[in-house]
């Protein structure tokens, strides 16, 4: 799972929740980083993101990732 959240406290809470479920998690602080990660060699089942992020917002991210 990719967690994308600009608030560091919220990001750590989400990471802990995901890890507690037994999932592998990679986290990013901005949308551009998350999109680069999601489009890389490692494939993810879920991208959990904030709606408004530095360097990107939800809609453009979805458009890039879904084609």
Cα dihedral sign, 55-29-50-4: positive
Residue-wise pLDDT for 18-67, tens only, equals: 999 998 998 988 877 877 877 788 777 887 777 777 666 655 656 555 55
Task: State pTM to two decimals.
Answer: 0.70
What does the alpha-carbon distance between residue 22 and residue 25 come to, in Å, rounded to a whole number?
Answer: 9
Helices (H), 5-50: 8-20, 31-38
What the block records as the tokens of 46 is 């879920």
More confident residue, 10 or 39: 10
* Residues 65 and 48: beta-carbon distance below 8 Å: no
């Amino acid at each position: 799972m990719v967690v994308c959240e600009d608030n560091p406290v919220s990001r750590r809470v989400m990471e802990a929740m995901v890890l507690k479920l037994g999932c592998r998690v990679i986290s990013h602080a901005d949308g551009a980083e998350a999109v680069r990660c999601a489009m890389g060699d490692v494939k993810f089942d879920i991208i959990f993101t904030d709606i408004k992020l530095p360097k990107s917002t939800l809609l453009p991210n979805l458009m890039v990732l879904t084609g």
